Amino acid sequence: MRDPDGLIARAGVRGDPDRDQHFLVDDRVLDRLPTYLTETDADTSHILEIGGGTGALTDRLLAVGDEVTVVERDRELAAFLREEFADEIDAGELTVVQGDALKVELPDFTASVSNLPYGVSSEIAFRLFPEKKPLVLMFQQEFAERMVAEPNTSEYGRLSVSSQHYADVELVESIPKEAFSPPPAVQSAVVRAIPREPDYEVDNEDFFLRFVKALFTQRRKTIRNGIRNTAHISGLAEPEAVVDAADEDVLRKRAGAMAPSEFAALAQLARDVGGPIDE
């Protein structure tokens, strides 16, 4: 495997915190990341990496994947990756895409392993989740803890419900600041997401996620008041009709105590009787 410090030296770059660049340089962590994918027997025929940097993780992914596509926003780093991995590119094993991962067309990948740029990690994650492919993604520790949180915990929120709607999510490893160059201000963590269908039905996924978002903006209020106060977010035309139709036990709860399945049932009721104005 290529030495991560050697890659940084050959690239002639330094990580820039102002540009959300923190290069992962701990060999042990780099070696472990692909195993969180392979130990699940995931399809590794085409692995997507977001934020390739100087290629330390790319190198490890090439060892386990038949084909790897790297999306790198930084033009100079993308050029370096094409030079450093010229043989792998010529062999058809690697494709380097220079561009914004939120805007470029993604390939038909089978799994993703990525050290995400933290400033846009949420937006990228929720671009990847609907693809319903196995994901091994690195986030800020606090963000990762919120993704995997259970109801009735302080970390549980909109992010927990949204993430767990798409996949079984698991925090598999915490990563110290010292594993990066330069070290970030916060500790990091690796989340593994294995796609699966939820154990509840959602007729309109966009409305469900918007409804969850709305109620968590009023997480200290009861569900009753949350429904009434957030029609401008949820888009409900008749929030009072939803309150009248909902079960009293649900209306007394707060968003932080609602399981994803309970949100789904309430969202379905809201669509049926509250008439979302965009439908």
* 20 has a pLDDT exceeding 80: no
Residue 51 marked in a binding site = yes
pLDDT at residue 16, as a whole number: 80
Same domain assignment for residues 75 and 140? yes
Same domain assignment for residues 219 and 191? no
Of the pLDDT bands very low, low, confident and very high (cuts 50, 70, 90), residue 84 is very high
Q: Which domain holds residue 93?
A: 4-195
* 230 has a pLDDT exceeding 80: yes
Same domain assignment for residues 49 and 179? yes
pLDDT at residue 238, as a whole number: 95
Of the pLDDT bands very low, low, confident and very high (cuts 50, 70, 90), residue 171 is very high
Average model confidence (pLDDT) for the chain?
Answer: 96
Same domain assignment for residues 53 and 122? yes
Of the pLDDT bands very low, low, confident and very high (cuts 50, 70, 90), residue 276 is confident
Residue 26 marked in a binding site = no
pLDDT digits over 88-125, tens only? 999 999 999 999 999 999 999 999 999 998 889 999 99
Per the structure, the count of domains in the chain is: 2
Phi, psi dihedral angles at 81 (to 5 degrees): -60, -40
Task: Provide the CATH number for the domain around residue 238.
Answer: 1.10.8
Of the pLDDT bands very low, low, confident and very high (cuts 50, 70, 90), residue 86 is very high
pLDDT at residue 279, as a whole number: 62
Residue 100 marked in a binding site = yes
Same domain assignment for residues 148 and 13? yes
Residue 99 marked in a binding site = no
pLDDT digits over 176-223, tens only? 999 999 999 999 999 999 999 999 999 999 999 999 999 999 999 999
Same domain assignment for residues 149 and 29? yes
pLDDT digits over 118-139, tens only? 889 999 999 999 999 999 999 9
pLDDT at residue 277, as a whole number: 72
Same domain assignment for residues 62 and 139? yes
Residue 65 marked in a binding site = no
pLDDT digits over 238-259, tens only? 999 999 999 999 999 999 999 9
Phi, psi dihedral angles at 30 (to 5 degrees): -60, -40
pLDDT digits over 43-77, tens only? 999 999 999 999 999 999 999 999 999 999 999 99
Same domain assignment for residues 39 and 101? yes
Residue 24 marked in a binding site = yes
pLDDT at residue 194, as a whole number: 98
Same domain assignment for residues 259 and 138? no
pLDDT at residue 118, as a whole number: 87
Same domain assignment for residues 211 and 231? yes
